């Protein structure tokens, strides 16, 4: 019997959160090891599991994987969430990459000075409203289907929901001009595996707070 | 008959150069529509060609693809440069994400404010010889094969060799202690398609000098 994937990261969203979402959406149970001290991190680097000395780290199927996008692509392919052929896969990749860019801006903003942070987050909301969300609203409108690609649930849908919820934490009204995205949000949130992940007590992490930022800074010596 | 892929980008390396390398290595002829004025870029944005209002954009197989990673994934899979199964692909992805991180640091060095430049160069050199090159040298040493993954040419070899050329431009002595990487560089450079791409007059873009950046800054106002 296969062991559960084991995730190693800080106790927060950062670059691991999309991986947690995808595993959860695929109905895959996983374990987590949380990095809390510099010593833990140095030990990880010394024992050779971090190819480039960095986390996220996911150990599964006999592999020691780092690099967020490598891990996400592997999971998407393994759990059949990557479209049915190359042309569908490139669309999943395009959409997933776009939403990842947006979410990374939010993740990185937490590490800026208060003034810069506010400015960056305001820019994220603006980009979501003027660039990203209109693009996805149009995709849904053009094909009229329930899912972004190939009329079937895929990694792209998981990431878009994750991004929508993250931006809504910054501005609750962000979907007001996007009726199809609102319906999409409700629909994807109701998928049983996702519904479960959205419940309190799941492995979903909270937005970065000062304790998280302090821990990461200390461990990575930023 | 399918037309040649058409690349839309500035007349610079930036986020398009890896795509040029991969297409060239795969023996695919392509056209380039260079963005030379702000009006050129506005036109692309206004005619709906850019999903997230950004370039690179590549017209290929009836699609208008954006997001360099998605584009590269598509080309690699189409031309059998992505490993034989999802586990090989995960390894390839892990390696190329590391390559992409270092390429990005080097690529954006010219944009670094003058007073931060020296520190940035030091950081690049440090990461090169202490983080990235050792990791790849170790991979080659561990299996003793001619290519990074699966004993067969893949995009990982192409992207890594591209990086090695950039590392050489920063400082040729950085490669001194990595004999297997030097051998890989020679081997890949001698592949007929790559050899052709390395000749003057190919689509390969030169290193941007300060003057060219100043000009681009004036034209595109950034």
Q: What is the ipTM of this complex?
A: 0.95
Residues 6+ apart with CB under 8 A from B118: none
Checking if the pLDDT of B212 tops 90, the result is no
The rounded mean pLDDT for chain B is 95
Q: By CA distance, what is B135's nearest residue in A?
A: A51
pLDDT tens, B41-50? 999 999 999 9
Residue A45: Cβ within 10 Å count = 14
Q: By CA distance, what is B133's nearest residue in A?
A: A52
Residue A114 confidence (pLDDT): 92
Kindly determine whether residue B74 and residue A93, on different chains, have CB atoms separated by under 8 Å.
Answer: yes
Residues 84-103 of chain B with CB under 8 A from chain A are 86-87, 89-91, 93-95, 97-98, 101
Cβ distance B5 to B28 under 8 Å? Answer: yes
Distance from CA of A58 to the nearest CA of B (A): 12
Locate A8 and state its tokens: 């190693």
- Identify the DSSP state of A128: I
What is residue B213's three-state secondary structure? helix
Cβ distance B156 to B73 under 8 Å? Answer: no
Sign of CA dihedral A222, A65, B14, A106: negative
Tens of pLDDT along chain A (222 residues) come to 568 999 999 999 999 999 999 999 999 999 999 999 999 999 999 999 999 999 999 999 999 999 999 999 999 999 999 999 999 999 999 999 999 999 999 999 999 999 999 999 999 999 999 999 999 999 999 999 999 999 999 999 999 999 999 999 999 999 999 999 999 999 999 999 999 999 999 999 999 999 999 999 999 998
Mutation target among A52, A65, A99 for the B interface, most CBs of B within 10 A? A52
My answer on whether omega of the bond before B124 falls inside 30° of 0, hence cis, is no
pTM for the whole structure: 0.96
Mutation target among A22, A51, A65, A123 for the B interface, most CBs of B within 10 A? A51
Locate A57 and state its tokens: 């780290």
Checking if the pLDDT of B1 tops 60, the result is no
Which residues of chain A are within 8 Å of residue B89 when distances are taken between CB atoms?
A: 73-74, 77
Alpha helix positions (H), chain A:
17-25, 38-46, 68-78, 86-109, 114-127, 133-143, 155-170, 179-189, 192-198, 210-220
pLDDT, mean of residues B154-180: 98
Q: Which of A61, A73, A94 minimises the CB distance to B51?
A: A94
Residue A18 confidence (pLDDT): 98
Cβ distance B152 to B187 under 8 Å? Answer: no
Q: B46 — contact with chain A (CB < 8 Å)?
A: no
Q: Which of B48, B42, B35, B47 is CA-nearest to residue B8?
A: B35
Kindly determine whether residue B52 and residue A53, on different chains, have CB atoms separated by under 8 Å.
Answer: no
Phi-psi region of B9 (alpha: psi -120 to 50; beta: other; left: phi over 0): beta
């Amino acid at each position: 019997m296969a062991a559960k994937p084991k995730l190693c990261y800080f106790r927060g969203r950062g670059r691991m959160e999309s991986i947690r979402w995808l595993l959860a959406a695929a109905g895959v149970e996983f374990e987590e090891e949380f990095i809390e001290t510099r010593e833990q991190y140095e030990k990880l680097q010394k024992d050779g599991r971090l190819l480039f000395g960095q986390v996220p780290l996911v150990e599964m199927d006999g592999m020691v994987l780092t690099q967020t996008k490598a891990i996400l692509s592997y999971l998407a392919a393994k759990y059949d969430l990557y479209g049915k052929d190359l042309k569908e896969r490139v669309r999943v990749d395009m959409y997933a990459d776009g939403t990842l860019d947006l979410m990374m801006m939010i993740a990185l903003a937490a590490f800026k000075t208060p003034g810069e942070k506010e400015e960056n987050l305001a820019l994220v909301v603006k980009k979501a409203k003027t660039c990203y969300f209109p693009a996805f609203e149009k995709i849904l409108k053009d094909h009229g289907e329930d899912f972004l690609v190939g009329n079937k649930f895929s990694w792209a849908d998981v990431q878009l929901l994750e991004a929508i919820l993250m931006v809504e934490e910054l501005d609750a009204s962000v979907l007001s001009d996007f009726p199809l995205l609102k319906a999409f949000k409700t629909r994807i949130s109701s998928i049983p595996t996702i519904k479960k992940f959205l419940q309190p007590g799941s492995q979903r992490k909270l937005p970065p707070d000062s304790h998280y930022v302090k821990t990461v800074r200390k461990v990575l010596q930023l | 008959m399918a037309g040649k892929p058409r690349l839309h980008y500035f007349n610079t390396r930036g986020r398009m150069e890896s795509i040029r390398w991969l297409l060239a290595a795969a023996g695919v002829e392509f056209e380039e529509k260079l963005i030379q004025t702000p009006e050129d870029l506005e036109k692309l944005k206004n005619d709906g060609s850019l999903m997230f209002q950004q370039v690179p954009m590549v017209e290929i197989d009836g699609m208008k693809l954006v997001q360099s990673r998605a584009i590269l994934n598509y080309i690699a899979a189409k031309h059998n440069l992505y490993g034989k199964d999802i586990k090989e692909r995960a390894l390839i992805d892990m390696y190329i994400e590391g390559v992409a991180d270092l390429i990005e640091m080097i690529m954006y060095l010219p944009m670094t404010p003058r007073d931060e430049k020296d520190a940035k160069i030091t950081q690049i050199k440090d990461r090169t010889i202490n983080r990235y090159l050792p990791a790849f040298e170790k991979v080659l040493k561990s299996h003793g094969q001619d290519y990074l993954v699966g004993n067969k040419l893949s995009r990982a070899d192409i992207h890594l060799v591209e990086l090695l050329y950039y590392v050489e431009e920063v400082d040729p002595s950085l490669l001194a202690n990595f004999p297997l990487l030097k051998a890989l560089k020679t081997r890949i450079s001698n592949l007929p398609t790559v050899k052709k791409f390395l000749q003057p007059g190919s689509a390969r873009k030169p290193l941007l000098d300060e003057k060219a950046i100043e000009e681009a800054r004036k034209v595109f106002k950034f």
